[in-house]
Amino acid sequence: MEFQRRQAIYLQIGDYICENILMKKWKEGDKIPSIRELAVSIEVNPNTVMRTYSYLQDRGIIFNKRGIGYFVAENAYKNTRSLKKEGFINHDLPHLFKTMDLLNLSFNDLKLFYNKNKGVT
């Protein structure tokens, strides 16, 4: 796994887990990798993964069974979605529109990028 400089690693790991939940790869009740497992597989310090798990647990996305491991929480999908959506509306969109303004990009330009992106992917 590769990390960007712009964001804390533990948050990027969090995003990765949230994506799996949003894509329904990991369903509610599923066991997720142990801290050590994940740490080894993505070559990161266990402390960092631990921090991710605490972060997600605080937000009701995963929960811990002592001695057994971490599991996807009951309302994980809903919680994850509302968390992401909030960030999307409050941060991503305003930033998007402001940048488009500064770069003199119209909504049509955005549509072109969108189609291009969809076509490529």
Partner DNA sequence: GTGGTCTAGACCACC
Partner DNA sequence: GTGGTCTAGACCACA
Nearer to DNA, 92 or 109 (CB): 92
Tell me: does residue 113 bind a second copy (CB under 8 A).
yes
The two three-digit tokens of residue 99, written as one number: 């940048």
Hey, how many other C-beta atoms are within 10 angstroms of the C-beta on 12? 18
CB 79 within 8 A of CB 92: no
Distance CA 40, CA 1 (A): 11
Site for DNA in 29-68 (CB under 7 A): 34-37, 44-48, 50-51, 53-54, 64, 66-68
Binding at 113: pick from DNA, a second copy, none (beta carbon under 5-8 Å per type): a second copy
Q: Pick from 53, 44, 50: which is nearest to 17 by CA?
A: 53
Q: Give the interface with a second copy as residue ranges (CB under 8 A).
A: 6, 9, 18-19, 22-23, 45, 58, 66-67, 81, 84-85, 88-89, 91-97, 99-100, 102-103, 105, 107, 110-111, 113-114, 117-118
